[in-house]
A and B are shown apart, each in its own frame.
Chain A
Amino acid sequence: MNLFKPFLPTEEREIIDSIRQNGGERKKGEERLFNRYSYLIKEGIHKYALLREEAFDLYSDTIISAIEKIADGSFQARSSLKTWIFQIFHNKYVDLLRKKTTNKSSIHRTLSITELLSQISDHSKTVIQELMEKTDWEVLRQRLVQVGENCRRMLMLWADGYSDKEIAQSMEYKTADVVKTTRLRCLEKLKQLYHSS
């Protein structure tokens, strides 16, 4: 046990525990997290000279990133939640500056699946990335609406990091295996809709 881990305040602990739950409890945790550090929007406006919309977007992206890391266990409380959130906020501000100065917004498209891509060997990754660059993202997004509400909700929960077991509980399916089969069928349906365009 590391005795030098920072004392997490009770509220921070409660937020973390809530986000690691399912369904309604997780949503409450996400809301508390969003509310607790919202002063950063003002900091973005005054310290970083951002427009209000930019500061709000930056803060939203920060909280979304934080939720992901808390939910998947990557946040290990090596610092307080407050310090960690600020670090993410600052790093995203630096990314925003780089985007503005280099105008390379298109190459950041696959950042959210970087970890998945990094599992593939570099040579195979190049093949996949070249194919992904040919994706018609707007059409794919539109097909997502056509795939049906049940499929859409299930696929979104999956993309949001919920396990098949958690999806089963949330959507009242019998077992995780049933969810997995259904989810893969939904992906197949999405693929057929996309290719039929």
Chain B
Amino acid sequence: MENYPDYIEAYFSGALSPEERSEFEKRIEMDKNFAEEVAFYLSAKQVLKEEVNREKKEWFRQLADQNPDLEKQPAPVRTMWVYRLAAAAAVISVIFLSWYLFLQKPASPTQMADRYIKDSFQHLNVKMGDGRDSLQIARQFYNDGQLTSSAKIFENIAQRDSSNTEAITNAGIVYLRLSEYDKALAYFQQLEKDTLYFNPAVFYQALTLLKRNHIGDKQRARELLQKVVDNDLDKKEIAQQWLEKKW
């Protein structure tokens, strides 16, 4: 008799290869008995989670009953030394910033990259509608700041469907924000192979290299930005502006 529980567990723990995962999902659609086994596994986990939460809530009630003044406690405040340290840091920062601006040094490439990431990647658009498909869920996790959860879902979608450019692009963006530059680069390189009309892959690779900042990355980033300009690729104007700065 086939060992369904082990197989199902391997799928949800990420132990199967992309091909094996694809077979697992096809089997759900073709084999009703198997689909019921998977549904039961998830239903059981759901009920168990609810039980865990119910017991935790009861325990919280006991804690509250044992300490009637619990809710009256004030919000924790940072101790004074943190404020003094923050004030000192602010003064030093102002002095340093004035000196820096006075000398008018050009923006560093990492600063340019940081600014771009801050302006462009803080939020992913969640499309309206009732659907809760995986992409929507992943975007929602991203916008809620749950970057790791978001990365897992985008990555799963990209592994299942190598033509899903949105998943590939967003996987790259999430890993960039998580400072996992090698993974981000891999996704943007994969994206470059797509025949999208507006394909920001080369620019995003340059962006990632500027953030990673290993030996040789800056030079490579310049080459990629030049490629964006020479081939009239997406983000050409920004690439042009960055190339004009001295770094």
Contacts and interface: CB of A to CB of B under 8 A. Distances in A.
A91 B144 contact: yes
Interface in A145-194: 155-156, 158-160, 180, 184, 187-188, 190-191, 194
Contacts of A158: 48
19 contacts: A9-B78, A9-B79, A11-B76, A35-B63, A38-B70, A38-B73, A60-B57, A67-B56, A76-B147, A110-B46, A116-B12, A127-B29, A127-B35, A132-B42, A159-B48, A159-B52, A180-B9, A187-B41, A188-B5
A9 B74 CA distance: 16
A184 B41 CA distance: 10
B35 A36 contact: no
B196 interface: no
Contact of B28 (A7, A76, A118, A124): A124
A184 B218 CA distance: 52
Interface in A41-69: 41-42, 56-57, 60-61, 63-64, 67, 69
A127 B26 CA distance: 11
Contacts of B152: 115, 119
Nearest to A141: B47
* Interface residues of A, dominant DSSP: helix
A34 B60 contact: yes
Contacts of B6: 184
A57 B76 contact: no
B76 A114 contact: no
A60 B56 contact: yes
A112 interface: yes
Interface of A: 2, 7, 9, 11, 30-31, 34-39, 41-42, 56-57, 60-61, 63-64, 67, 69, 73-74, 76, 78, 82, 87, 91, 109-110, 112-125, 127-128, 131-132, 135, 137, 140-141, 144, 155-156, 158-160, 180, 184, 187-188, 190-191, 194
Given A39-B71, A132-B42, A132-B43, 6 more contacts: A115-B152, A121-B160, A155-B48, A158-B48, A180-B9, A190-B44
Given A120-B28, A184-B5, A39 B73 contact: yes
Contacts of B76: 9, 11, 36-37, 82
Nearest to A135: B43
Contact of B137 (A60, A114, A155): A114
Interface string B7-37: 0010110000000000001101100000110
Contacts of B224: none
Nearest to A142: B47
B145 A113 contact: no
A35 B70 contact: yes
B156 A118 contact: yes
Contacts of A180: 9
Nearest to B39: A131
